[in-house]
């Protein structure tokens, strides 16, 4: 393999579902997709900036950011990520794609940070961050087609949020699909048809009750989870129906219950999915080579 060869990979930066943080536990939702030479960030939950830096990304090269929906565990750190990249010397345009409301979020973030932004422009001679960022709001269908990279969106089932989108990234015959947050949603199988990787959210039935007990508004939480998210078995069914090459269970609920281990996730999803499987952990790298001999996780444990 030549040194300048572009290496496509997916890095799961934050693998838990929901906004809560617990000691030593995983971070909320964010992923890095390096595909066709592009650096693509999918969702910006808390921890995304640290995750990108730890994955070896130079923040100055920040390029494309996609937000699947405006729940805080997917968007809370969007502004801080771009701002941190800006103070690191961001020189190129950053394109942010998100649902309706994303432009408002960005405008208000810049307002909230106005003192710091204005003072750094004067004091450090930085370009105006507001001019370095373009925000495009998307709906269902084609989102972006640029230099061989094609991105499409499918509205999924995540009540009460209506603007919540699965995303499909394609380049040079490779494809990666993110389910975003969704209840079991059969049309996702068509959308994810034949993908190299399907990153699907998942929860585990036996973990939900314990989660509900230790949370203040437990009954409401249970109601929300059941109406708006998928069980691991359901994620496996989508992967099987879609005929994807690898299923990655992500946005895990619960993600930090000491009683729940990887074996529990594997046991649940194996009822409906017999193919290649990865249970997400923060920092886990999944390679995207077609040739199985060239497929190699850089670090972390993989479940073939
Ligand atoms: Zn979420
Ligand atoms: Zn959500």
pLDDT of residue 214: 81
Instruction: Say how many Å lie between the CA of residue 71 and the centre of ligand 2.
Output: 5
Q: Tell me the DSSP string of 217-279.
A: THHHHHHHHHHH--BHHHHHHHHHHHT-SEEEEEEEESSS-TT--HHHHHHHHTTT--SEEEE
CA of 180 relative to ligand 2 center, distance in Å? 8
- Ligand with the closest atom to the CA of 28: 1
The CA distance from 86 to 153, in Å, is 28
Q: 202 alpha carbon to ligand 2 midpoint, in Å?
A: 12
**Active-site choice (73, 163, 181, 196):** 73
From first to last of its 304 residues, the chain has per-residue pLDDT tens of: 444 445 899 999 999 999 999 999 999 999 999 999 999 999 999 999 999 999 999 999 999 999 999 999 999 999 999 999 999 999 899 999 999 999 999 999 999 999 999 999 999 999 999 999 999 999 999 999 999 999 999 999 999 999 999 999 999 999 999 999 999 999 999 999 999 999 999 999 988 888 888 887 888 888 889 999 999 999 999 999 999 999 999 999 999 888 999 999 999 999 999 999 999 999 999 998 754 444 444 443 444 3
d(CA 17, CA 15): 7
Sort 160 into a burial class: Cβ within 10 Å, 0-12 / 13-18 / 19+. Answer: exposed
pLDDT at position 15: 98
What's the predicted TM-score (pTM) here?
Answer: 0.93
Cα 249 vs. chain centroid, distance in angstroms?
Answer: 11
- Has residue 108 been placed in a domain? yes
Question: Is residue 106 included in any domain, yes or no?
Answer: yes
Residue labelled with tokens 């989870």: 225
The number of distinct structural domains making up the chain is 1
Its domain, for residue 160, covers 9-288
| Ligand lying closest to the C-alpha of residue 224 | 2
Distance 124 CA to ligand 1 centre (A): 37
The SS3 call for residue 171 is strand
Q: Tell me the CA–centroid distance for residue 131 and ligand 2, in Å.
A: 29
Ligand 1 center from residue 200 Cα (angstroms): 11
- List the CATH number of the domain containing 146: 3.60.15.10
Q: For residue 73, which ligand has an atom nearest its CA?
A: 1
Q: Tell me whether the omega of the peptide bond preceding residue 160 falls within 30 degrees of 0, making it cis.
A: yes
111 CA from centroid of ligand 2 (Å): 25
Question: Is 198 contained in some domain?
Answer: yes
The 8-class DSSP code of residue 16 comes to B
In a domain, 142, yes or no: yes
Residue 21 lies in a domain: yes
Beta bridge partner(s), residue 177: 168, 198
φ/ψ of residue 15, rounded to 5? -115, 0
Ligand nearest to the CA of 71: 2
Q: Is 63 a catalytic residue?
A: no
CA distances from residue 23 to 207, 250, 257, 302 in whole angstroms, order as listed: 18, 20, 11, 25
If you search the block for the tokens 């994810």, which residue do you land on? 192
């Amino acid at each position: 393999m030549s040194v300048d060869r572009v290496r496509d990979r997916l890095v799961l930066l934050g693998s838990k579902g929901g906004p809560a943080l617990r000691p030593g536990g995983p971070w909320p939702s964010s992923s890095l997709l390096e595909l066709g030479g592009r650096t693509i960030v999918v969702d910006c939950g808390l921890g995304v900036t640290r995750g990108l830096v730890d994955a070896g990304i130079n923040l100055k090269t920040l390029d494309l950011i996609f937000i699947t929906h405006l729940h805080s565990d997917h968007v809370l750190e969007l502004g801080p990520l771009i701002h941190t990249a800006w103070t690191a010397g961001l020189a190129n345009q950053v394109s942010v794609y998100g649902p309706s409301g994303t432009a408002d979020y960005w405008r208000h973030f810049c307002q909230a940070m106005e003192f710091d932004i204005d003072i750094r422009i004067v004091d450090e001679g930085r370009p105006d961050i507001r001019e370095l960022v373009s925000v495009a709001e998307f709906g269902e269908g084609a989102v972006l087609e640029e230099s061989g990279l094609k991105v499409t969106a499918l509205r999924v089932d995540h009540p009460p949020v209506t603007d919540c989108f699965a995303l499909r990234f394609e380049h040079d015959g490779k494809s990666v699909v993110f389910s975003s947050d969704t209840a079991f949603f059969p049309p996702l199988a068509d959308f994810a048809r034949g993908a190299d990787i399907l990153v699907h959210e998942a929860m585990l039935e036996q973990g939900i009750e314990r989660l509900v007990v230790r949370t203040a508004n437990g009954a409401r939480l249970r109601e929300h989870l059941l109406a708006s998210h998928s069980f691991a078995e359901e994620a496996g069914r989508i992967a099987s129906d879609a005929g994807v090459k690898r299923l990655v269970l992500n946005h895990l609920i619960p993600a930090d219950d000491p009683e729940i281990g990887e074996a529990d996730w594997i046991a649940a999803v194996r009822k409906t999915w017999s193919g290649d499987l990865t249970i997400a952990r923060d920092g886990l790298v999944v390679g995207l080579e077609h040739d199985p001999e060239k497929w190699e996780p850089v670090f972390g444990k993989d479940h073939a």
